[in-house]
Structure 1
Amino acid sequence: MRAPLFVSMLLVPILAWAQPEPAQRQMVVAPHPLAAEAGLAILRAGGGAIDAAVAVQAVLTLVEPQASGIGGGAFMLHWNPASRDLSGWDGRETAPAAAQPDLFLRDRRPMPFAEAAMGGRSVGVPGVMRMLEAAHRAHGQLAWAALFAPAIRLAEEGFPVSPRLARSIALHAVPLRADPGARAAFFTPEGEPLPEGATLRNPALAETLRAIADQGADALHRGPIATDIVNAIRRHANPGLMTADDLAGYEPRQVAAVCMPYRINVVCAPPAPSGGPVVLQILALLGHFDLDVLDPAGADAAMLLGEAGRLAFADRNRYMADPGFVAVPVPGLLDPAYVTQRAQAISLDRAMTAPRAGNPRRYGPPLASQPDQPENGTSHIAVIDAAGRALSMTTTVEGPFGAHLMVRGFVLNNQLTDFSFLPEVEGRPVANRVSGGKRPRSSMSPVIAFRDGEVELVTGSAGGARIIGYVVQSIVATLDWGLDPQAAAALPHAGALNAQIELEQGTAAASVAATLIGRGAPVETREMNSGTGIIRVQRDGQSLRLIGAADPRREGVALGD
């Protein structure tokens, strides 16, 4: 199904897009063609969705190092139709055991973000490979070692630097050049940033991936590579606190997904500290309005997306944190009575003045709201295999290029900057304050939506804190407005970031700014570089059509059979 004409005319004008051919058996959507090709090759060899995700992540470490890699963390959902099991996985990084709430304070004031993010201080214990290893033990179909062959070959033979990677290297050339590993990987022998089309080889990463293929995630968390990680962090001019024990002791969490009815679907996402509960709360608020009659690119749609997002972000900034350390009231935030009460504040005629956090189910601890901070990075992967297993995974090093530290060919994350720099505000603690062993709050929101007990939609996005709004918009665009996945991925963005409504510059969304301002809304028009990946499942008896889409703002593709 093509987008309606009025929508097609309002899509991002500077980007060409075309609907990929539907698949009948299996599909991979990834943010780089080489990563998608690796995932599809694994599926064609008899692998399952988890196997494909391992191969895709290994390749992304090479070809999209500014966004994700084995030095970072991830959240994932996996559906097995044979057992009717939806498993959630939390591979989020953790703070070193020695970390204290004042990690990012200097003279009791927050450090400048860029200064805090560069170097060892911001590096969290990576979790993505431990998570994928545990999931592979539970659901993998092929041998672990075989899943790294595509990435090892590409790292040795090299690949052409993409336009997006070339721009990222050039933009971050100064801090990258200061790190020996990054300088070796991303610059010419003369010290110039690798240009678009240049061949990038990473033999150090090939050796690391061989070690992981042979030893499992232990290769990263114990032994020589782990020693190099700790030394790079602790010996940096902006040193961190990570120890060998922190790396060796990391454990992923298998978690219960949070699921909620939305219209005729059931939408599921990982629990806190992911952004999934915030996505679900926005959808619950939007469920009080008839979105299907609205113009997807019109002012009323932007107003509802923005106002619902502003309310949910107010609650997020008060309550969302690692549930292993803080009581996160997700059931209360999604309680129909609470959502109904919150939805009364939303009006198409007049914006809220200053949304505040609510009090779900008389939640007790007197918490302060976290002040605004930057959130960046990420890649998103969507897979459906020939057995109907579905996977939605969002993965990140924060970034771009994480902490600007490379060890053994891969980038180390700067995820600890996702904690609140201020541990308390006006004498009240911030839920997302730093603590040893704690996982920082995240925006990553991989989603699987079901209809009549079967997968209908797999979606998620890159894009820092804006991921939450991008994922909501992809769900509304497909399930409410009936857009095909490529039209949904290309739809101009409108949504909230904290108390602000944001509209995507250079698109039809920006044309409604004056209308929203006239309704009293705080509006900013800006670049909104999402990275959405979508698979829509259509059924006709026993036959399937898998319709995939990758965000045209980036370099991804949907490939299938």
Structure 2
Amino acid sequence: MATAAVAAAALVAPNTAAATPTKSPVATGYGGVVASVDPDASAAGIEVLRRGGNAVDAAVATAAALGVTEPYSAGIGGGGYFVYYDADTHEVSTLDGRETAPKSADDKLFVENGKPLPFAEAVTSGLSVGTPGTPATWQSALDRWGSIDLDEALRPAERIASNGFVVDSTFRQQTADNAERFSAFPATRALFMPGGQPPAVGTVMRNPDLARTYQLLGREGVEALYRGDLAKDIVSTVRHPPVDPASTRVVRPGKLSTEDLRAYHTIRRDPTHVRYRGLDVYGMAPSSSGGTTVGESLNILEDTDVQHASQTQYLHHFLESSRLAFADRNRWVGDPAVNSVPTRQLLSQRFADSRACLISDSKALTSPVAPGDPRDPEDCADTGTAAPTPYEGENTTNLTVADRWGNIVEYTLTIEQTGGSGIVVPGRGFLLNNELTDFSFSPVTPGVPDPNLPGPGKRPRSSISPTIVLREGQPWFATGSPGGATIITTVLQVLTERIDRGLPLVRAIAAPRASQRNGAAADAEPAFLAAPEAAQLRALGQKFDTSAEIGAATGVERLPDGRWQAAAETTRRGGGSAMVVRAG
């Protein structure tokens, strides 16, 4: 029944669905703002704000809508990290909604016949699926800081799933890029490739199964996913992947159990915090490496006048600071429930200074750079064994919300790869994540401790970096991005472009990007490589590989006159969507 409904919906004209809101990368005014990659999702958040909801309510509504319109990036089959500024208490709080490995997992989860599995085989498998954290994150956020219940927060997304959204070129291309593996699963193929082909641009995509799933969660709460029949469906799908008998793809079963789902909980963590240029910068603590790595990079830059430096010198120091911070991240950051992560020491100015002295104005460092020891910093130490940066899937999504009371939410959520594991839970309308591939499959460097190996109930290390910046105790701006490990460098670049280089937030988000993650070469967008500074950076020894696109950031800023400004991408992923309750 669901298959027929989806197939028919994909062939109807756009005017049979609700009109797609106008997409704009910047919006300024009063009453609250929302920025995301998608106009339907941003409109869902604005709808909740207009009805009197707060930033948390609107963030959940926006995230749920992204689960419909950006299903290859996020959804209830995944997880994420939620950062919240409370205007009443002036405090920043965070929720760790990261997926967890099954209790039965060990450090050989992705090892077969003594060798690590090929990454592509691990991705499209039940082995890669962690216990979803997104539904629990929504409920936890609403319980702590929201003003409406989950049912009300899900209604806009439920309506979009029922009525449909208009397929754009990004959605079609992402479907086409996944067509081969989607085809291996009848439920995935029926939902996203009705008729066996990616839906055409301009047609309407409906997801009645997801609408019913949202209705279930609204009616029974998220316990329906963690304890009810939906939990059983998820476990059955993971342990017995529903592969088309005609497919030749080998899809390994996973180990997720109903006990794993019942045991899941979010964790309220203290945010990371550094002082940078007199500002308070708050981020996400481990299990994400985002807050520690962005924070360490800022500390490394603290004593360098990148505000008045040439563009070349600014970019050179930006690249070098992230190179060093990634060397330390790879050695020290993992799930703090299992590993002793020296978070406080990684964020100390003393440690950053011991790393910053390795940077020269005239010559780039050569990667891989060895990590430092934050527990016992030694100035300019460059000994030890480097740990390379493992691959992380890049197709996460980010949203930023502020309300009329001054509360802010910066929220990054994900199912990991574009399309996650590729496996739709039959009859439920959503994809399962492949987040467990964020673990190291085997020790990255033999003989060197690896804090990111799989383990029972363990959270894999993430790079998600939702960040809120306060000036004199009041919110100035917030930003975050998708992009796998490039999330960290994207957020760092937006922060420094806005704080040090003085670019308006929307221009800081739009600026051409490069990402140095302690690799032999930095990834760089074509526009970055076309700038005259690229040749000057190469003369300093910086090396670059071309990357078509890095990140897709959003942000909000409190303007001096009290208005809010929301900002999103101008071109990446087809441009983002910034909206305001009342323009002015």
Class of the TM-score when normalised by the shorter of the 2 chains: over 0.9
Distance 1:451 1:77 in 2: 17
Cα deviation digits, residues 257-301 of structure 1 (max 9, x gap): 111100021000010121111011111111121111135xx3222
Asked if 1:401 corresponds to 2:419, the answer is yes
Cα deviation digits, residues 15-40 of structure 1 (max 9, x gap): xx976341123101111000000000
Query: How does 1:217-296 map onto structure 2 within 5 Å?
Result: 217-236=222-241, 237-274=251-288, 275-295=290-310
> What secondary structure sits across from 1:425 in the alignment?
coil
CA contact 1:368–1:429 (8 Å) conserved in 2: no
Distance 1:19 1:174 in 2: 33
Cα deviation digits, residues 376-428 of structure 1 (max 9, x gap): 22110101011111110110000111000111101100000000111463234
User: Which deviates the most, 492-501 or 244-253?
Assistant: 492-501
- TM-score of the two chains, using structure 1 as the length reference: 0.93
Distance 1:68 1:533 in 2: 16
AA in 1 matched with 2:204: T
CA contact 1:160–1:199 (8 Å) conserved in 2: yes
Using the TM superposition, give the Cα deviation of residue 165 of structure 1 relative to its aligned residue in structure 2, in angstroms: 0.8
AA in 2 matched with 1:534: G
> What secondary structure sits across from 1:464 in the alignment?
coil
Using the TM superposition, give the Cα deviation of residue 214 of structure 1 relative to its aligned residue in structure 2, in angstroms: 1.0
Distance 1:505 1:81 in 2: 37
AA in 2 matched with 1:385: D
Q: Which runs of 5+ in 2 are unaligned?
A: 1-22, 242-250, 378-383
Using the TM superposition, give the Cα deviation of residue 348 of structure 1 relative to its aligned residue in structure 2, in angstroms: 2.0
Q: Runs in 1 of length 4+ with deviation above 6 angstroms? A: none
Matched with 2:366 is 353
- TM-score of the two chains, using structure 2 as the length reference: 0.89
Query: Could you say if the C-alpha distance between residues 294 and 428 of structure 1 is closer, same or farther in structure 2, counting changes exceeding 3 Å?
Result: closer
AA in 1 matched with 2:559: Q
Alignment match of 2:497 (pick from 473, 477, 481): 477
Query: How does 1:103-502 map onto structure 2 within 5 Å?
Result: 103-188=109-194, 190-236=195-241, 237-274=251-288, 275-295=290-310, 298-354=311-367, 355-362=369-376, 369=387, 372-407=390-425, 408-423=428-443, 425-502=445-522
Asked if 1:534 corresponds to 2:539, the answer is no
Matched with 1:5 is none
Aligned length: 537
Distance 2:303 2:202 in 1: 50
Query: Could you say if the C-alpha distance between residues 197 and 440 of structure 1 is closer, same or farther in structure 2, counting changes exceeding 3 Å?
Result: same
CA contact 2:36–2:399 (8 Å) conserved in 1: yes
Matched with 1:7 is none
Q: Which runs of 5+ in 1 are unaligned?
A: 1-16
Alignment match of 2:545 (pick from 524, 527, 537): 524
Using the TM superposition, give the Cα deviation of residue 508 of structure 1 relative to its aligned residue in structure 2, in angstroms: 4.0
AA in 2 matched with 1:210: Q
User: Which deviates the most, 371-380 or 243-252?
Assistant: 371-380
CA contact 1:46–1:142 (8 Å) conserved in 2: no
Using the TM superposition, give the Cα deviation of residue 503 of structure 1 relative to its aligned residue in structure 2, in angstroms: 5.0
Using the TM superposition, give the Cα deviation of residue 94 of structure 1 relative to its aligned residue in structure 2, in angstroms: 0.3
RMSD: 1.7
CA contact 2:514–2:525 (8 Å) conserved in 1: no
Cα deviation digits, residues 493-518 of structure 1 (max 9, x gap): 12312324535333144433332232
Cα deviation digits, residues 361-382 of structure 1 (max 9, x gap): 239xx99835532432211010
User: Which deviates the most, 41-50 or 105-114?
Assistant: 105-114
Matched with 1:11 is none
AA in 1 matched with 2:534: A
Cα deviation digits, residues 40-67 of structure 1 (max 9, x gap): 0001101111111111111111100111
Alignment match of 1:549 (pick from 530, 549, 567): 567
CA contact 1:536–1:546 (8 Å) conserved in 2: yes
Distance 1:356 1:427 in 2: 14
Asked if 1:64 corresponds to 2:70, the answer is yes
Distance 1:545 1:143 in 2: 28
CA contact 1:530–1:551 (8 Å) conserved in 2: no
Distance 2:466 2:279 in 1: 16
Asked if 1:75 corresponds to 2:81, the answer is yes
Query: Could you say if the C-alpha distance between residues 521 and 370 of structure 1 is closer, same or farther in structure 2, counting changes exceeding 3 Å?
Result: closer
Matched with 2:20 is none
Cα deviation digits, residues 149-202 of structure 1 (max 9, x gap): 1111111111111211110001110111211221121112x2111121111111
